[in-house]
Structure 1
Amino acid sequence: MRRMMMGMAALAALASGQPASADTVTDWWEFANKIAPYMATSGTPEQGRAVTRASLAMFEAVNAIDRRYESYLDFPAGDPTASQDAAAATAAYTVMLHHFPTQKTALDDGYMIAMAGIADERAREAGRLIGEQAARAAIAAGGIDPALQPTPYRPRTTPGAWVATALPQIEPHMVTYRPWAIPSADALRPPPPVALASERWARDYEEVRRLGGRTSTERTPYQTLMARYRQAFDLTPTMRLVADGPGRSQVQNARMFAIYQMTFDDAAMAMADAKAHYDFWRPITAIRNGGDDGNDATPQDAAWVPLLGTPNFAEYPCGHCVIAAAHAEVMTAETGPRPATGVRVAAMAVPMSAVQVLPSWDEWEQEVSDSRIYGGVHFRFSNEAGQQIGRRAARIVLDSVMRPLPGR
């Protein structure tokens, strides 16, 4: 789960007051997203916020030079003639080096290349100082709240009966971060899953049983492809196209990436809280035990196997749906519902594949949701609950942080 959370969510310099290239912020955001998943298997809880802190540090550094938005960290305005590229590169480099010191060689090389391209020494040095200060401020923000004690997961069973012993991949610390904008991890907790005796449970159960099984004859070839393609989606192609769009400023892009990452973190916290709270069974468990749920409309299929491997954590709500909805809401605010270049999405789960293009953020979000049913790992009511959490988390972030300053 840590690999997914650190990975999903997300992968010529001009100085002295001139408009800066959008590439510096985007390049370092992508670089940070490459390093974080690479280190994910041995990561610490604090490293889970590394990419967000790097994005936030870049925003604060560039916004200090080109003051257009409210500061999240109460970071002061700086020298308006400082190099924005030096400030952004230094901010990201310093944060990532703090979190991943074993990657010092790669980070040093990238930083040297970035700084060597800035000819104006005075502007470069001024930008470096601002970037370092912004990095220190970002590193101190958004960490684990010591007042919140994580609750270890306890497998539930009857005394003396065997139960699977692998602990869930959603770790207890995931709900103990200080949120960026939402009030708390449980503030967006959805209503309970549907009642097992209800018609809705029977309908959604049967949909997954028919379409999500490994040997399903009703799932189309395209639906099978989407189940696999959407296991780990990558919006980097769209993010870069937006960042490189005509008229975009460095600070606009820094803000976009920071909000994108902060929304991911807050939405993921809310998702982890709800999963731990409800501890709802997955389709493979429910369908193999359909005769025990008290609903005559849910036939037991004791040998049923889903198309995809079932993630090792609770079902409700759908995590992919939370993140897809959160990012769709953020990017709709940035580009409108139907970006001119389309929503271009790659697949980390299928590296040797073409980039898919969808016409709107809503359609992409819904395709992610549907793909979890085709994969046999989620029920539709769970997907809808996840989408609602993601949209709510995004709206709170968008409405409360980094707002444009009057007149800018």
Structure 2
Amino acid sequence: MRFSNLVLAGTAGLLAAAPASADTVCEWIEFGEAIATAAAPPPDAPRTGEHDRARTQMALAMFEALNAIDRKYESYVGMPQADAGASQDAAAATAAYQVMLAHAPGQKAALEDSYNVTMMGIGDAAARDKGKAVGEAAAKLALAVGGLDAKIPAANYRPRTSPGVWTATAMPVIQPYYVSMKTCILPRIDAVRPGPPPALTSARWAKDFEEIKRIGAKKSKERTAQQSLMAKYRITPNMTPSMRLIADAPGRSLVQNARMFSMAAMVADDTSLATADAKMHYNFWRPITAIRNAEDDGNKATAADPAWEPLIGTPNHPEYPCAHCSSAASTAAVLKSEVGDAPPGGVRVASRSVPNSIVQVVPTLDKWVEEVSASRIYGGVHYRFSNEAGEEIGRKVAAMALAKIMRPLPAKVASR
């Protein structure tokens, strides 16, 4: 990213302020989610592509502020070390507040109220003021991360058809500005683009076509009741319970938690961009289109069903690769770097697509990725080969991030 440098006066030899609550980062992450939801759609503020990075920039700002005070990792934005006596709570809250205020000025009253509640709880005025200054500096640097590259024009989608022949006119949910978004980790948006989907005349195509035709059909006789439930439950999986469980574990510091949230958000952003790039590049047909028009695929092993419907609604964008799968794989890889196969007690996953649903417990993070991928087949919206390609994208982006950004500092360097 394009970094700027800011010099802060700091003396690492001073005694640190009282330890901060391990909940501060989590509370502002959750509050930021609520603010971002309340701020959309306009007229809260004119919406541009930069708003897609609000929560990522907020998490990054908190990480940079906390890491400046409690230096444990490489800075992503070149943030210098700060006074160890600065309040970490004040730094984190200020960083989050300033970023969200920049993105959602229409929510200023709610932001100010919550910010004041946090700051009022910090009794040491000197430490509070120092922390505030650190948080403000971190927010400025974080707000410069991401955004749109003016040199790359947006890619407007054009519905394809023969001259004079009708075709569906709804635009994909993948926004034209996606190709112009600056990446956080990848050298370019197509750096991890997978190879093409199987040839329509191949045995692999016929195999995966028949699998989803049988299992993913709205009236499938092979899909179990549990599989049908999971197809719906995982339309919008929510990993907040697991991340909160990890963050609340004894012995974890604020900077550790901020790094986890920031790393997960940045990896998710680049994974999303890479997946969108591949989808638009290959423009591969969805099962509902392929199954209804199988007589045109040139494969004798496939048969058309003109009335076939999937269990769940087909997303309005190209099929290959699976975005749910790449997202799950990237998040799992980041969390595995924190806790191994699973947090104590298992992976806790909520759902935004099943109202008032209970949190589900899955034994391991790898099992969760496997179940997310399977749910897209049960739902009738993704082929197995697309799931595999999506998972590969997510793992590659996460591995690249963990190897090159926010790396732990050697003990001697961290203690300076």
Q: Is the 8 A contact 2:155 2:179 kept in 1?
A: no
User: Partners in 1 of 2:301 and 2:327 — Cα distance?
Assistant: 32
Helix, strand or coil at the partner of 2:178: helix
Whether 2:222 is the aligned partner of 1:218: answer: yes
CA distances 1:119-171 after superposition (whole Å, capped 9, x unpaired): 11111111011101100110011111111111110111111000001000001
Which amino acid letter does the alignment assign opposite residue 19 of structure 2? P
Which amino acid letter does the alignment assign opposite residue 48 of structure 2? T
1:366 Cα deviation after fit: 0.6
Whether 2:215 is the aligned partner of 1:188: answer: no
- Correspondence for 2:59: 55
User: Partners in 1 of 2:345 and 2:91 — Cα distance?
Assistant: 30
- Correspondence for 1:247: 251
Which amino acid letter does the alignment assign opposite residue 252 of structure 1? Q
Which amino acid letter does the alignment assign opposite residue 221 of structure 1? A
TM-score (norm. length: structure 2): 0.93
1:16 Cα deviation after fit: 4.8
1:175 Cα deviation after fit: 2.3
Q: Is the 8 A contact 2:161 2:167 kept in 1?
A: yes
User: Partners in 2 of 1:38 and 1:325 — Cα distance?
Assistant: 29
| Aligned-pair Cα RMSD in Å | 1.1
1:31 Cα deviation after fit: 1.3
1:38 Cα deviation after fit: 3.8
Which aligned pairs between 1:268-283 and structure 2 lie closer than 5 A?
Answer: 268-283=272-287
Match of 1:287 among 283, 288, 291: 291
Q: Is the 8 A contact 1:339 1:359 kept in 2?
A: no
Whether 2:240 is the aligned partner of 1:267: answer: no
Aligned identity (percent) is 57
Q: Is the 8 A contact 2:70 2:255 kept in 1?
A: yes
Unaligned runs of 5+ in 1: 1-14
CA distances 1:317-336 after superposition (whole Å, capped 9, x unpaired): 00000100000000001110
Which aligned pairs between 1:89-108 and structure 2 lie closer than 5 A?
Answer: 89-108=93-112
Q: Is the 8 A contact 2:39 2:107 kept in 1?
A: no
Which aligned pairs between 1:8-407 and structure 2 lie closer than 5 A?
Answer: 16-42=16-42, 43-407=47-411
Q: Is the 8 A contact 2:214 2:220 kept in 1?
A: yes
Which amino acid letter does the alignment assign opposite residue 129 of structure 2? E
Count of aligned positions: 394
User: Partners in 1 of 2:342 and 2:244 — Cα distance?
Assistant: 16
TM-score (norm. length: structure 1): 0.95
Helix, strand or coil at the partner of 2:406: coil
CA distances 1:329-363 after superposition (whole Å, capped 9, x unpaired): 00001110132121000001113111000110000
User: Partners in 2 of 1:38 and 1:379 — Cα distance?
Assistant: 35
Structure 2 CA distance for partners of 1:397 and 1:321, relative to 1, 3 Å: same
- Correspondence for 1:10: none
Q: Is the 8 A contact 1:175 1:270 kept in 2?
A: no
